[in-house]
Amino acid sequence: MDDAQSNHLKAYGVTYRALQRGGRAEWLLNYRGGSFLLPADTATERDAALTGVTVEPASDGDVVAVRGEIQANNMDAVPLEKAPKVAVYVPPNAAPWDDAVTMSLEYAGIEYQKIWDLEVLGGRLKDFEWLHLHHEDFTGQYSKFYLAYSGAFWLSEMVERNQETARRLGLPNVPALKKAVAREIRRFVQDGGFLFAMCTATETIEIALAAEGMDVAAPYADGTPMDPEASAKLDWSRSFAFRDVKLEQSSAIASFSDVDGHQVNNPPRRQPLGAFTLFNFSAKIDPVPTMLVQCHRQVIPDFYGLTTSFQRERLKPDVTVLADEPGAPWVKYIHGEFQKGTWTYLGGHDPEDPQHQIGDPPTDLSLHANSPGYRLVLNNVLFPAAKKRELKT
């Protein structure tokens, strides 16, 4: 799918639905920006026509030629077997327009189910293969908007909803609730699940996992001050990606730690946006990272989120960097394995709304059907569909 593709994002939906109908597909890694080879059945052709996805008919001879080109170059063909069952961790009444993954799933037409704390702690994660987290704050501090937006209806609602859930589950406060959810998510990955997180969820789930048994939340969240020595006590062996992180002690600053290189809400440390570059992996040796970076652009304009990027020096040594900003001390897109499963983090909130502010109008993806940033999100959705034996890393 190079620039000839008229709707990159919906192409993922067409492929997903082909798999859902019981069909087979192949992901042609690095072939013309990463393409899909699907059977030319009536349902797929109709689906592509309705969604505006460009398809090119290929005869047997054409396919042989494509395979020859793949064999001779840094490309590979990965069979896709089964449409993964997708869950998105999101509050029950959240609109789909404030979460990049929900938006892209809706737009591409990929089925998913919303789950929240009660479902996660009720053991529902085992019903899914892929789980997405977006801007949830797993430290239980309401994204640290508590002071700046006090009195705002949406914040009051968020606080009330979380406190009520904690009460129903017999947990003492919201930070304890979120830690319990984080532990359950870790178990999901440990047992073979695929986790994809963006924005604040990346940084805060790591902090929540590392902060077992200690107070890392501001007094407004749990009634007690944050442990002043918390940074030194965090146990990073429990987390997926980060290590040696220093927590932000001030409850007035909407930043959690020094993981994020951009610090969008911390004026003295805020960094301007640049562009990030996707790494080029060996498709035949490293198909997993290759799948995750399939795109028709190698350099993509950066976009802010409460967590925009990840400081390189805070990454564990076994983390695979998928994209970074050359020359900058931070990276944008990372991946790793955790026991039987994998996790992938993409910094930032919305690839097509780089400055994203609370109250901004929702992003209309029909105006960004070729968005390279959103393609990265959708790579993650299809990657669990790849046949297991092909996953060499």
User: Looking at 20-28, 188-196, 323-331, 354-362, which segment touches other proteins (CB under 8 A)?
Assistant: 354-362
- For residue 264, CA distances in Å to 133, 303, 336 come to 20, 10, 26
What three-state secondary structure class fits 87?
Answer: strand
Q: How far is the CB of 222 from other proteins (least distance, A)?
A: 19
Which DSSP string corresponds to 1-38? --TT-S-HHHHHHHHHHHHHTT--EEEEETTTSSEEE-
When asked if residue 250 is in the footprint of other proteins (CB under 8 A), the reply is yes
Beta bridge partners of 337: 342
- Name the helix (H) or strand (E) containing 377: helix 372-382
Q: Output the six-digit token pair for 51.
A: 């969604």
When asked if residue 248 is in the footprint of other proteins (CB under 8 A), the reply is yes
When asked if residue 252 is in the footprint of other proteins (CB under 8 A), the reply is yes
Subset of residues 169 to 188 that bind other proteins, contact rule: CB under 8 A: none
- For residue 178, CA distances in Å to 107, 141, 174, 319, 351 come to 29, 10, 6, 24, 26
Contact call for residues 185 and 131 (beta carbons, < 8 A): yes
State the binding string over 60-99 for other proteins (x if CB under 8 A, else -).
Answer: -------------------------------------x--
Other beta carbons within 10 Å of 250: 12
The residue from 52, 92, 122, 219 that contacts other proteins (CB under 8 A) is 52
When asked if residue 267 is in the footprint of other proteins (CB under 8 A), the reply is yes
Q: How far is the CB of 155 from other proteins (least distance, A)?
A: 9
Q: How far is the CB of 340 from other proteins (least distance, A)?
A: 34
Please list, in sequence order, all residues whose beta carbon lies within 8 angstroms of the beta carbon of residue 273, skipping any fewer than 6 positions away: 262, 301, 302, 303, 304, 308, 354
Cα 290 to Cα 293: distance, rounded to the nearest angstrom: 5
The residue (of 332 and 368) whose beta carbon lies closer to other proteins is: 368
Strands 341-346 and 330-338: antiparallel
The residue from 12, 16, 31, 107 that contacts other proteins (CB under 8 A) is 107
The residue (of 126 and 246) whose beta carbon lies closer to other proteins is: 246
When asked if residue 231 is in the footprint of other proteins (CB under 8 A), the reply is no
When asked if residue 362 is in the footprint of other proteins (CB under 8 A), the reply is yes
When asked if residue 190 is in the footprint of other proteins (CB under 8 A), the reply is no
When asked if residue 338 is in the footprint of other proteins (CB under 8 A), the reply is no
User: Looking at 31-39, 144-152, 178-186, 302-310, which segment touches other proteins (CB under 8 A)?
Assistant: 144-152
When asked if residue 163 is in the footprint of other proteins (CB under 8 A), the reply is no
The residue (of 74 and 266) whose beta carbon lies closer to other proteins is: 266
154 φ, ψ to 5°?
-65, -35
The residue (of 142 and 345) whose beta carbon lies closer to other proteins is: 142
**End-to-end alpha carbon distance in the chain:** 24
Cα 104 to Cα 361: distance, rounded to the nearest angstrom: 16
Cα 164 to Cα 177: distance, rounded to the nearest angstrom: 11
Q: How far is the CB of 98 from other proteins (least distance, A)?
A: 10
The residue (of 149 and 220) whose beta carbon lies closer to other proteins is: 149
User: Which residues here bind other proteins, judged by CB under 8 A?
Assistant: 46, 49-52, 97, 106-107, 109, 147-149, 151-152, 248-250, 252-253, 255, 266-268, 357-359, 361-366
